[in-house]
Amino acid sequence: MKHILSSLAIIIMAAACCNTPKTAVYLDENQPLEKRVEDALSRMTLEEKVKILHAQSKFSSAGVPRLGIPELWTTDGPHGIRPEVKWDEWDQAGWTNDSCTAFPALTCLAATWSEEMSALYGKSIGEEARYREKDVLLGPGVNIYRTPLCGRNFEYMGEDPFLSGKMCVPYIQEVQKNGVAVCVKHYALNNQEARRHTYNAVVDDRALYEIYLPAFKAAVQEGGAWSIMGAYNLFEGEHLCHNDRMLNRILKEEWDFDGAVISDWGGAHNTDEAIVNGLDLEFGTGTNGMDSKYGGGYDAFHLALPYYDRLKDGRASVDVLDDKVRRVLRLNFRTALKSDKPTGSICSPEHYDAARRIAGEGIVLLKNDNNILPLDLEKISKILVVGENAIKKMTVGGGSSSLKAQYECTPIAGLREAIGDKAEIVYQRGYVGDLLRKYNNVDTGIDLTDPRSEEQLIADAVAEAADADVILFFGGLNKSRGQDAEGRDRDAMALPYAQDKVIEALAAVNDNIVVFNVSGNAVEMPWIDKVDGIVQTWFLGTQTGHAIADVVLGKVNPSGKLPFTFPVKLEDNGAHALDAYHPDSLTVEYKESIYVGYRWAEKQGIKPLFAFGHGLSYTTFDYGEAKCRKSGDGFKVSVEVTNTGKVEGKEIVQLYIADEESYLERPVKELKGFKKVALAPGETKKVTFDIEPDMLKFYDPEKGWVLEPGEFTSHVGAASDDIRTTVAFNVK
């Protein structure tokens, strides 16, 4: 009987086995990725291969329907999930279920100097992208802040390659845990918006490797980014979306990048270069009136029929094609085709909380004379709020990062909510700047028109100023063209509109003023000595007003530090001092080489308005003596930091290293470590930095990376211009 039963079992099992269709290798997620990619590749026709290398709509590309390989859907990025657009247009499609959480701009994230906040940001925005069923998030951006005039600095992570490299990695890793790829942009040397499609950046190899590439390299090698976006402009005479040196040789060969290179929208210009110079997936090329031979539209894209024709008649090699297809398949298998993705979530209490925390940690207290902040509501009865940016919604506008936020709390709304009836809040506009209300058809719903003249606006504000206990001025830049916005640079570093005049007029009657600079860029502050407080608030998104109120009232102790230098004037910046910024020229020579930001200021001995790494707190921190010891191939530098004030706070302890002698000139010192530590009043913590030999190298254009033996000094402190302790070490 037992025998009969087991025979029966074998027969049943065999039948079950024969009835189960065998899963194709490319669909079997238990198989190694490369095996699946090869299997899919081997099944695809030439037409199918070409079809997946270019867009089919503004933001999507085709899959391989016959094989069940889905479409890829991309979305901007990098501060929230862009509203759905019409198939072929930039305008929003008018859906009612596509609003998002607007997270603080990336300059704010960089200003947190907190890898924990970067991870929280990536997790949250990744979940929103996942919920909206996006496969590729177009961000983060890590172009280096070269000039305060660049209109897109607000989307990037500042002037320092080490800081931006460290800060982008957790964001990337956390986004990708959602089965959503990042697309790191804009690789590379896209450091201005002026003539962004046509200028050729002339950059020496040392600056390229030491300043402009490290953050991208970190994104690829440490973050494991699955895609990268080519920049619009040119380098060595080739557009960066099809640039042999940058894409083939550096990104794919030197760095072993196995993901896909995606063109910026409309960044591909030449079919033959697009084929051989490393572009894998083409988006945004004009869809009207392109080569009529191919009927215009998406079929006329460089990597569409023009490519197909070249493959058919042997002008293009199938090996190169297959490499592109593999990369796009990898991207697809890691995202769209992945079956066990989380469901994601959107506008959740957790995401609102994350946005508020990141904003709170990124706000930078630049000046706080007489401890004007936090406000003590016991002693204040009238608060005068002045300035357009107190009432303006900033998540709409500025280019591709424009959002349709489900909710945006303006500064004035946040203050009113937090202060309630504990003090009277009077608002005065002060100046009229920009009336932008709609962008890509997303409407803020706020009518900003004001018929008053400049003089009248100032007079009305001043009339309320004399008896105010404190004046909170909200100004800075905004998201309209020529400000912090894509497609054009700023004309000047000064505050636009009548803002300087308003601040001067207010200060003439009442010097209890705090200026809140809402921007992603440095601005001139000719009135700096006439105000007690200055706060850099960035573009903070959904939670703007709440995060600002948290800091104003001391619920959050500010702990952000500047990720870029505020020069006093434009000429204090290297690119401008050397007349090496040319908005009208087709060639822009980066004459300052590696001397970007604080590297220039320190070399020239120029005192900035606010230095890189600067940021105050409502408490004070004391630093002990830095100690250094050998550890493996490198060194460990440690220092004790104590909170000497009355409230708890977070300090960002910064490590800069100076190479005391080298055969190539080096910066005075360079950031090589940072740690954000939370300290209760009276508490002391030991902070330790690891110095690896690679961190001490410089790039010699003749020899590559060089570690030169000799003496180095570790400078440990609270800012690049506030070094508290140093310790020397020797490399044998």
**Minimum gap (Å) between residue 158 Cβ and ligand BGC:** 18
Among 48, 76, 238, 592, the residue binding ligand BGC under the rule CB under 6 A is 76
List, in order, residues 6 or more apart from 292 with CB less than 8 Å away.
none
Q: How far is the CB of 58 from ligand BGC (least distance, A)?
A: 8
C-beta of 209: minimal distance to ligand BGC in Å?
24
Q: Does 138 bind ligand BGC (CB under 6 A)?
A: yes
Rounded Cα distance, 335 and 184, in Å: 16
Q: CB nearer to ligand BGC: give 191 or 617.
A: 191
Greatest extent of the chain over all pairs of C-alpha atoms, in Å: 105
- Work out whether the CA dihedral 671, 677, 682, 683 comes out positive or negative: negative
Scanning the structure block, which residue is given the tokens 């003089």? 455
Site string for ligand BGC, 318-347 (x = CB under 6 A): ------------------------------
- The reply on whether position 154 binds ligand BGC by CB under 6 A is no
Task: Work out how close the CB of 601 gets to ligand BGC at its nearest, in angstroms, rounded to a whole number.
Answer: 29
For 558, the token pair is 């500010």
- If the CB atoms of residues 229 and 540 are measured against ligand BGC, the closer one turns out to be 229
Burial class, 529, CB count within 10 angstroms (exposed 0-12 / middle 13-18 / buried 19+): exposed
3-state secondary structure of 384: strand
CB of 82 or CB of 334, closer to ligand BGC: 82
**What is the x/- site pattern for ligand BGC, positions 344-383, by CB under 6 A?**
----------------------------------------
Residue the block writes with tokens 């058809």:
441
Core vs surface per residue 9-40: b (16+ CB within 10 A) or e: eeeeeeeeeeeeeeeebbbeeeeeeeebbbbb
- Cα separation, 411 vs 414, in Å, equals 5
Minimum distance of ligand BGC from residue 485's CB (angstroms): 12
Residue 335 or 559: which CB sits closer to ligand BGC?
335
- What is the C-alpha separation between 183 and 581, in angstroms, rounded? 28
Question: If binding is defined by CB under 6 A, does position 265 make contact with ligand BGC?
Answer: yes
Secondary structure (3-state) at 23: coil
The nearer residue to ligand BGC, 303 or 719, going by C-beta atoms, is: 303
C-beta closer to ligand BGC: residue 138 or 203: 138
Q: State the nearest-atom distance from the C-beta of 265 to ligand BGC, in Å.
A: 4
Residue 151's closest CA among 562, 641, 489? 489
Write down the least CB distance from residue 90 to ligand BGC, Å.
8
CB of 76 to ligand BGC, least distance (A): 5
d(CA 557, CA 554) in angstroms, rounded, equals 6
CA-angle at 295, arms to 289 and 297, nearest 5°: 60
Among 149, 127, 125, 151, residue whose Cα is nearest residue 139 = 125
Binding status of residue 105 toward ligand BGC by CB under 6 A: no
Question: CB neighbours (10 Å) of residue 606?
Answer: 18
H/E run at residue 16: helix 2-19
CB of 523 to ligand BGC, least distance (A): 24
Q: Which 171-230 residues touch ligand BGC, going by CB under 6 A? A: 185
Rounded-to-integer distance, Cα 142 and Cα 600, Å: 20
Measured distance CA(178)–CA(126) in Å, rounded: 6
Token digits of residue 578: 């050397």
**Closest CB to ligand BGC among residues 265, 564:** 265
Gap between the Cα atoms of 336 and 179, Å rounded: 8
User: Which is closer to ligand BGC, CB of 152 or CB of 429?
Assistant: 152
> Hey, what are 320's tokens?
């190169």
Q: What single DSSP character describes residue 389? A: G
Q: Return the residue matching tokens 């189960």.
A: 20
Does position 429 interact with ligand BGC (CB under 6 A)? The reply is no
Contact flags string 31-70 toward ligand BGC, x per CB under 6 A? ----------------------------------------
CA-nearest of 358, 336, 355, 334 to 346 is 355
CA atoms of 388 and 516, how far apart (whole Å):
11
**Beta carbon nearer to ligand BGC, 394 or 506:** 394
Which regions of 67-157 does DSSP assign to beta strands (E)?
72-76, 136-138
Closest CB 141 distance from ligand BGC, rounded Å = 7
Q: What is the DSSP letter of 185?
A: E
Answer yes or no whether residue 264 interacts with ligand BGC by CB under 6 A: yes
Kindly determine how many residues on this chain lie close enough to bind ligand BGC according to the rule CB under 6 A. 7
Q: Which CB, 442 or 547, lies closer to ligand BGC? A: 442
φ and ψ at 144, to 5 degrees?
-80, 140
* Residue number, 138 or 534, with CB nearest to ligand BGC: 138
CB-based contact 592:600 (threshold 8 Å)? yes
Cα separation, 562 vs 610, whole angstroms: 8
Give me the least distance between CB of 336 and ligand BGC, in Å please.
Answer: 18
In the bound complex, what is the minimum distance in angstroms from residue 73's beta carbon to ligand BGC? 13
Measured between alpha carbons, how far is 327 from 233 in angstroms, rounded to an integer?
Answer: 24
What is the residue-wise DSSP string for 336-373? TT-SS-----SS-HHHHHHHHHHHHHH-EEEEEGGG--
Position with the least CB separation from ligand BGC: 400
Tell me whether residue 230 or residue 414 sits nearer to ligand BGC (CB atom): 230
- Min dist. Cβ of residue 433 to ligand BGC (A): 24
Alpha-carbon distance of 92 to 79, in angstroms, equals 17
Interaction pattern, residues 377-416, with ligand BGC; x per rule: CB under 6 A: -----------------------x----------------
480 Cβ contact partners less than 8 Å away, ≥ 6 residues apart: 397, 434, 436
293/396 Cα distance (integer angstroms): 39
Catalytic residues: 264
Does residue number 612 form part of the binding site for ligand BGC (CB under 6 A)? no
Tally of residues, the chain:
732
Closer Cβ to ligand BGC, 399 or 597, answer by number: 399
Q: Please report, as ranges, the residues that interact with ligand BGC according to CB under 6 A.
A: 76-77, 138, 185, 264-265, 400
